[in-house]
Structure 1
């Protein structure tokens, strides 16, 4: 191997180049720190720092006496979505109910047909005007609107614009699957903050910030997977903690905003220098529209805009016009209101059925219900599968090992009352059989 470099960053780049070329293969040991430092003529601390960063970004791993080894490529993690080929009743997808989504053919038919060319404003003025009411509850001064290719795209671009690989990011634990994947793919270090029924915990956030977190990624309501909403008191306490760290980037993924029964409780405040509130249309108008509305401070908006400028990667004006048509349509927005009521009704129905069986699901909001268990979830999900049910256990959502007790995440969309009752009874039988 031909590792070179005089700084930790140069050594990291050299090792990564060797991995990409195949000169360094998974399982192969890197030279001992002392040996490589002597060969390169640098301080041992420089090599040690490089190896530490390689571990943080997932290129290498430490194996005690075996030293530092090139890591096996990570297998693709679980994703949200349906399992169309499964014979089981799918309560795991995390999808909105298609019955409440607008007909894309009708939206496409309403397009003006006027071609858009290079040099046009990246954000449609029509959409910008319609989006303004969506953010009247954001308390931060001088918000600037950006349009991105969905919430995950917004979060990835914001993190890339403000952070560098190995920077720590405070995020809920358990956490949304896409957030976990995004952080790891960017080489950022997730710092799990425990979640309870009122959202991200104050002590957990304080500890993460004191340990060097450079950004906070939080879901203020309908947290996925638990469904919890930030309470007013909890949000105020979190803002007090964040006030001591005004340079920390605060990203709020308010993905369920137009459908939520809970009032928005902001995490960022006028003291936050770098902040963004992301509101996707995926749950109300459909995931395939691939669009999110983002308001942020001027600097963050400028950094986002540099990567979404006209001529490079702006969000299609066809999509923007389709979303604008949804926002303008009283019929579409009435269906959003009906969908919100339907999701609440189905969520409450399943919650009551579970409580009738002596179980204690979390209160909250969203498309999913979180059911704590007295023990590990894996044998429960397996037993439920044998009874015809497909659900998600808590493990993919966890950043840490977690406690011995697990949980289930159950998607409520399309769940009829009799099915909710049947599932709850089966879950109670599985737990009783232990």
Structure 2
């Protein structure tokens, strides 16, 4: 291990601002002057050499820790741990690949056999209005006409985006400055937590029960004056449990005493097995509603639509102008065709029921074995365990991959998430038996007296 002394490092750092120190240190790492594994001088010693406040240097180190270039090891010091500077979604990146495992339940994805065929839809899309024009339209007029009767509120404006998470990412970056406080219902889809952490906001988790975010938890968190509240308006993509309409009404009553922006993330869309709902008509000036079409119609469509007030949508569209200023007219027209095609709607309805039956058959087998999992719908369920680590090890020993509940929160939750969208009926009984073993309290052998 190479120790870097404060005098040598200070000689390389010409800019004494926090931003400049972070930039210059990153350059030293990139060029190999500070190799991976090197131990940096203490914050106090380096600040003294630089003749700056330790708090200024601390800001620079904090930014490099966020990028995973540096890491602090308590009293052992600060070390160079990486030479890659692009921020990356830590939870999603850590998901791993399980090609060789017999039963991979770590992903909550649709069954490709249940997705509708796209050939006719994409052919139709090649004749979209304004095809190949550089005119930046928020949404194809045809798609908006189809969606309006299906939308859960009378939104002033709509915007097509390149998928649900793209919509959420763009909206948050356009409207929420770093350092803000954001409330989000927990458990949280991994990518949402990754987006919020990358945005460098303070994250407050609103607790959930079987009917959705609890009024008590939301009321307590609103005392912290969050600028945004993110909720899933139909069904939780992590638990597979519905947000009850009465609970939605209660949440609206509590939010009426706040000025927080409301972002409704309908990630499962048309396979939710519940009617769409929104607080948009109640709070039209501060509600953004997002519906994704990927899970129901195909992930390669990369299509979602968001709605909101004219002011909010214009802000989001202005931010989009830095990159993809509009979403493919071909894909928008294809989704319009799929939404109007009777056979496609029949296939989606069949898939929706199949996903529900697979999930709830596993839930019933788990309940028969004393593991409390309510019925729901969607592509996964969240089941309680005594120890997340023990459960994952036990499942892996039986060639089953899953994800810990901590991946969907800020701490261990005592749960395991199982993706059920691709489960086959013959796999369920064995899975339930193994999961019962994994959910039990670990047996620890006592040493011989």
The answer, yes or no, to whether TM exceeds 0.5 is yes
> How many residues were matched structurally?
418
**Are residues 1:21 and 2:27 paired?**
yes
Q: Secondary structure at the match of 2:125?
A: coil
Matched, 1:344 2:356: yes
* Counterpart in the other structure of 2:313: 301
**1:94 equivalent in alignment to 2:108:** yes
1:411 match: 419
> 2:291, 2:283 → 1: CA distance?
22
* Aligned counterpart for 1:376 among listed residues 379, 387, 395: 387
CA 259–16 in structure 1, closer or farther in 2 if over 3 Å, else same:
same
Deviation at 1:229, TM superposition (A): 2.0
- The 3 A distance-change label for structure 1 pair 297 and 49 is farther
1:148 is the counterpart of 2:161? yes
| Bigger mean CA deviation after superposition, 195-204 or 56-65 | 56-65
* Pair 1:304–1:431, CA change in 2 (3 A): closer
Q: Distance in 1 between matches of 2:428 and 2:175?
A: 44
User: Cα offset for 1:351?
Assistant: 1.3
Displacement after TM superposition at 1:360 (Å): 0.7
1:233 aligned onto 2:249: no
Distance 1:310 1:383, change over 3 A: closer
Q: SS in structure 2 opposite 1:365?
A: coil
Tell me how far 1:396 sits from its aligned partner.
1.4
**Does the 8 Å contact 1:369/1:411 carry over to 2?**
yes
Match of 2:400 among 382, 389, 394: 389
- Partners in 2 of 1:39 and 1:433 — Cα distance? 55
Question: What is aligned with 2:145?
Answer: 129
Q: Please state if 1:421 is matched with 2:429.
A: yes
Distance across 1 between alignment mates of 2:107 and 2:166: 20
Structure-2 residue corresponding to 1:365? 377
Contact 1:192–1:400 (8 Å) recurs in 2: no
CA 1:310–1:172 in structure 2 vs 1: closer, same or farther (change >3 Å)?
A: closer
Is contact 1:372–1:407 with CA below 8 Å preserved after alignment? yes
SS for the counterpart of 2:184 is: strand
1:253 alignment partner, SS class: strand
| TM superposition shift of 1:310 | 11
Query: In 1, are the aligned partners of 2:182 and 2:228 still within 8 Å (CA)?
Result: yes
**Aligned-pair CA distance for 1:178:** 0.7
CA contact (8 A) 1:239 1:268 kept: no
Cα deviation 1:366-404 (Å, max 9, x = unaligned): 11011112x1122112212222322222121121344xx
Q: Please name the residue that 2:3 is paired with.
A: none
Structure 2 CA distance for partners of 1:201 and 1:56, relative to 1, 3 Å: farther
CA offset at residue 312 of structure 1?
Answer: 4.8
Equivalence map 1:154-173=2 (5 Å): 154-173=167-186
* SS at 2:203 equivalent: strand
Residue number in structure 2 paired with 1:195: 208
For residues 89-126 of structure 1, what are the alpha-carbon distances to aligned partners after superposition, in whole Å with 9 as ceiling and x for unaligned? 12222111112212233333333457422125342111
Aligned to 1:360, what secondary structure does the other structure show? Answer: coil
Say what the alpha-carbon RMSD is for the aligned residues.
Answer: 3.4
Deviations 1:338-364 (A, max 9, x none): 111111111221111111112111333
* In 1, Cα distance between equivalents of 2:65 and 2:323: 35
| Aligned residues of 1:83 and 1:93 also touching (Cα < 8 A) | no
Q: Kindly state the Cα deviation for residue 320 of structure 1 after the two structures are TM-superposed.
A: 1.0
Post-superposition offset of 1:52: 9.9
- Verify the 8 A CA contact 1:55 1:62 in the aligned structure 2: no
Q: How does 1:201-212 map to 2 (within 5 A)?
A: 201-212=214-225
- The gaps in structure 1 that reach 5 residues or longer are 6-10
Displacement after TM superposition at 1:306 (Å): 1.6
Render the CA deviation track for 1:398-423: whole Å, top value 9, x for unaligned: 21344xxx212112223233321221
CA contact (8 A) 1:220 1:265 kept: yes
Deviation at 1:316, TM superposition (A): 0.9
In the TM superposition, residue 30 of structure 1 has moved relative to its aligned partner by: 7.3
CA distance in 1, matches of 2:206, 2:268: 21
